[in-house]
DNA sequence: GCCAACGTTGGC
DNA sequence: GCCAACGTTGGC
């Protein structure tokens, strides 16, 4: 979908264009920029529903609270979130993305103190408000209105002829909260539909082509002025944490206020679109539905995480709750500190504080082992001297300054199983002893670290988050090694052996049988055993004959690489081998020298025929 | 957009 | 520790 692409927070390397766009924005629609609280927006919605007598409500806090007592009104969420914050860590609050009550302290502190009472109040109120009558709206408005300073809802609207007669546009700058300074753009249709996002706009303007419309600026672009965010991006970006993508400086999402309400994986723009006919303005929010997560498309395609623009000061994480309101406190799953904001790890399962996130970006995170690729000097890649001119890196290099050029992928070492001086392999890049450089003493994880004899290996918490990370400099710190990630997916095959060169599946091995094309259920999803690389395939993927035999400490090494075991996926009770000490990464067996191509493998392969490949 | 298949996870 | 299962990714 276009809008998914357009609004993807991952869209962005175009900070510059973005800025330019913002300037253009001012010029195009001449909109007064209204300053507004984040939290206000939810209030304002109710009030505007009132004032415009708008039948189609527009958000969960406005709509669901009115129409459905069971549909997850924000007050309940607020309570839950608070509970979450109290119980250290755990899963993120389901609606953490809601800009709840994290603003103006002076005015709100009273309300905040008793969320349960508030919740109850909201409940009874909702129970009365079945039909969403005008009086109900007013009641809600009155209930909420005194709680925050608000800009007048009629304020700041300017004509936006680009969308047609009667359309209005409004910019709102947030005055507080974690995304302070961020500018939201709203539209108001001639019918009074209030639009907070591109998707909503599309819904309201059913059938109209908005592909050239830039939500943020309120302008249509024609041909020669491509919208910067439309550029396709490599999926490699996915490897970056959602936390990073939560910085919305890049895409248009940064300016669609609605984007902050569309953060649960199950609540993507897809849902929005499927919901668009009658109530376009309430479709982007709903009660969280965690269950459907796995069936959704990759979350990154549609999730936007809230966060301030990069051009604005980033909120400092609060250390153990000292800073920030209780409502938005999360417990970092990595270091254990509490922090305000909405940072999450790349799987969006655990909160990840800005420090940890930043540390991971700067390769200084104590819980992560960063490794760098060292060319072996022997493999095909290393022996290649000519750039292919075709690969992404070659193409990239054509447009890049010298400092950012990358080595041709055909010339990169493909030899993942070798390591050591003069040999390819991962080298640890950052010692654990650097922990203290990055983290403050007050951070709770330090206690855990010192409690254990060995910070990186003994603490269970540390264990859980001790991750091997192949350094990926793709975007930030380009070096010659910046496409190791690319290689990572290649490292099961040498590309040269008979098995690698074989293009045909045997159709009879278990992996083949599993394939849909052979009538299988696609559960194993592995390459035909006979096509598993003779040199680099995982041992357990090789033909069965090869795994058997008299391999032992004194005998020949078994062929193939052993299956890696991922220590970070294990919880408690792991026993570490003695070699698994600081600076030695044995958690990923690919680095183990025992994985070196054993002579016996070649011999064994001579027993495997390749009738399909010869 | 589809597909092959890689890497990781959780259950046992 | 093994392995079935599956989310994810790069190539086409
Ligand atoms: Zn096969
Ligand atoms: Zn091979």
Position A133 scores a pLDDT of 38
The nucleotide whose C1' lies nearest the CA of A488 is: B6
User: Using the CB atom, is residue A540 less than 7 Å from strand B?
Assistant: no
State how far the Cα of A101 lies from the Cα of A113, in Å rounded to an integer. Answer: 11
Position A381 scores a pLDDT of 62
pLDDT in tens, A70-127: 333 333 333 333 333 333 333 333 333 333 333 333 333 333 333 333 333 333 333 3
Position A253 scores a pLDDT of 35
Phi-psi region of A83 (alpha: psi -120 to 50; beta: other; left: phi over 0): alpha
Q: Is the pLDDT of residue A188 over 80?
A: yes
pTM of the model: 0.30
A 552-571 residues, CB < 7 A, strand C: 562-563, 565
Task: Kindly indicate the confidence band of residue A498, based on its pLDDT and cuts at 50, 70 and 90.
Answer: confident
A 434-473 residues, CB < 7 A, strand C: none
Residue with more model confidence, A219 or A462 = A219
Strands (E) in A202-264, as ranges, are 213-214, 219-220
Nearest protein residue to B7's C1' (by CA)?
A489
Position A527 scores a pLDDT of 92
The nucleotide whose C1' lies nearest the CA of A295 is: C7
Q: How far is the CA of A538 from the centre of ligand 2 (A)?
A: 11
Average pLDDT over residues A62-75: 34
User: Using the CB atom, is residue A486 less than 7 Å from strand C?
Assistant: yes
User: Using the CB atom, is residue A492 less than 7 Å from strand B?
Assistant: yes
Query: ipTM of this predicted complex?
Result: 0.94
User: Using the CB atom, is residue A233 less than 7 Å from strand C?
Assistant: no
User: Using the CB atom, is residue A293 less than 7 Å from strand C?
Assistant: no
Residue with more model confidence, A598 or A509 = A509
State how far the Cα of A218 lies from the Cα of A221, in Å rounded to an integer. Answer: 10
**Of the given ranges (A163-167, A219-223, A457-461, A467-471), which has the lowest mean pLDDT?**
A457-461
Residue with more model confidence, A165 or A111 = A165
Residue with more model confidence, A522 or A419 = A522
For chain A, the average pLDDT equals 49
Strand A219-220, strand A213-214: pairing: antiparallel
Nearest ligand to the CA atom of A612: 1
pLDDT in tens, A6-61: 333 333 333 333 333 333 333 343 344 444 333 333 333 333 333 333 333 333 33
Among A265-274, A303-312, A394-403, the range of highest mean pLDDT = A394-403
Query: Can you give the distance from the CA of residue A328 to the C1' of nucleotide C4 in angstroms?
Result: 39
Task: Kindly indicate the confidence band of residue A487, based on its pLDDT and cuts at 50, 70 and 90.
Answer: low
Task: Kindly indicate the confidence band of residue A178, based on its pLDDT and cuts at 50, 70 and 90.
Answer: low
Q: How far is the CA of A540 from the centre of ligand 1 (A)?
A: 14
User: Using the CB atom, is residue A149 less than 7 Å from strand C?
Assistant: no
Instruction: Name the DSSP letter for residue A165.
Output: T
Q: Which nucleotides of strand C lie within 7 A of protein CB?
A: 1-11
Position A272 scores a pLDDT of 34
Position A300 scores a pLDDT of 31
Residue with tokens 């390397």: A13
Position A589 scores a pLDDT of 36
Give the H or E element holding residue A467: strand A467-470
Position A157 scores a pLDDT of 82
Position A189 scores a pLDDT of 83
Residue with more model confidence, A488 or A249 = A488
pLDDT in tens, A350-390: 565 666 555 544 433 333 333 344 455 556 666 666 666 66
Q: Is the pLDDT of residue A193 over 60?
A: yes
User: Using the CB atom, is residue A541 less than 7 Å from strand B?
Assistant: yes
CB A560 within 8 Å of CB A537: yes
Phi-psi region of A589 (alpha: psi -120 to 50; beta: other; left: phi over 0): alpha
Strand partners, A351: A344
Q: Which nucleotides of strand B lie within 7 A of protein CB?
A: 4-10
Residue with more model confidence, A15 or A154 = A154
């Amino acid at each position: 979908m276009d809008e998914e692409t357009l609004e993807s927070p991952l869209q962005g390397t175009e900070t510059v264009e973005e800025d330019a766009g913002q300037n253009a924005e001012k010029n195009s629609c001449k909109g007064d920029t209204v300053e507004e609280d984040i939290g206000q927006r939810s209030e304002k919605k109710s009030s505007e529903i009132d004032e415009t007598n708008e039948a189609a409500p527009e958000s969960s806090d406005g709509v669901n609270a009115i129409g459905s007592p069971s549909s997850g009104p924000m007050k309940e969420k607020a309570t839950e979130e608070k509970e979450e914050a109290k119980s250290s860590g755990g899963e993120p609050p389901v609606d953490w993305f809601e800009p709840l009550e994290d603003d103006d302290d002076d005015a709100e502190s009273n309300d905040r103190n008793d969320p349960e009472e508030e919740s109850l109040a909201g409940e009874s109120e909702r129970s009365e408000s079945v039909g969403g009558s005008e009086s109900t709206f007013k009641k809600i408005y009155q209930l909420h209105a005194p709680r925050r300073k608000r800009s007048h809802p009629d304020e700041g609207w300017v004509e936006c002829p680009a969308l047609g007669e009667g359309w209005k546009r409004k910019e709102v700058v947030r005055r507080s909260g974690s995304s302070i300074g961020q500018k939201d753009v709203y539209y108001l249709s001639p019918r009074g539909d209030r639009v907070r996002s591109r998707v909503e706009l599309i819904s309201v303007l059913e059938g109209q082509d908005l592909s050239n419309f830039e939500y943020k600026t309120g302008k249509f672009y024609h041909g020669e002025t491509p919208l910067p965010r439309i550029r396709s991006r490599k999926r490699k970006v996915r490897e970056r944490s959602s936390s990073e993508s939560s910085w919305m400086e890049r895409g248009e999402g940064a300016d669609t206020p609605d984007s902050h309400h569309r953060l649960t994986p199950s609540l993507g723009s897809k849902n929005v679109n499927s919901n668009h006919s009658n109530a376009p303005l309430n479709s982007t929010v709903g009660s969280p539905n965690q269950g459907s997560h796995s069936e959704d498309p990759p979350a990154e395609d549609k999730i936007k995480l809230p966060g301030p623009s990069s051009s604005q000061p980033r909120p400092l994480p609060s250390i153990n709750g000292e800073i920030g309101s209780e409502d938005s406190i999360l417990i970092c799953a990595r270091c254990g500190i509490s922090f305000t904001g909405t940072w999450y790890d790349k799987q969006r399962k655990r909160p990840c504080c800005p420090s940890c996130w930043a540390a991971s970006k700067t390769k200084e995170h104590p819980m992560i082992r960063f490794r760098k690729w060292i060319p072996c000097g022997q493999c095909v890649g290393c022996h290649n001297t000519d750039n292919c001119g075709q690969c992404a890196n070659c193409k990239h290099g054509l447009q890049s300054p010298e400092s950012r050029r990358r080595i041709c992928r055909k010339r990169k070492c493909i030899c993942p199983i070798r390591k050591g001086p003069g040999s390819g392999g991962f080298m640890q890049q950052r010692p654990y002893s650097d922990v203290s450089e990055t983290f403050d003493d007050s951070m709770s994880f330090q206690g855990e670290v010192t409690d254990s004899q060995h910070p990186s290996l003994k603490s269970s918490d540390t264990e859980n988050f001790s991750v091997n990370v192949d350094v990926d400099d793709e975007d930030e710190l380009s070096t010659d090694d910046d496409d190791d990630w690319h290689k990572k997916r290649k490292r099961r095959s040498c590309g040269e052996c008979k098995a690698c060169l074989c293009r045909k599946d045997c159709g009879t091995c278990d992996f083949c049988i599993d394939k849909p094309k052979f009538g299988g259920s696609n559960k194993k999803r592995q390459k035909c055993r006979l096509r598993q690389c003779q040199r680099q395939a995982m041992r357990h993927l090789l033909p069965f004959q090869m795994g058997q035999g008299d391999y032992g400490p004194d005998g020949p090494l078994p062929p193939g690489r052993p299956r890696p075991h991922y220590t970070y996926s294990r919880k408690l009770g792991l026993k570490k081998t003695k070699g698994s000490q600081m600076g030695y990464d044995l958690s990923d067996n690919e680095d183990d020298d025992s994985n070196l191509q054993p002579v016996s493998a070649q011999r064994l392969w001579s027993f495997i025929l390749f009738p399909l490949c010869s």
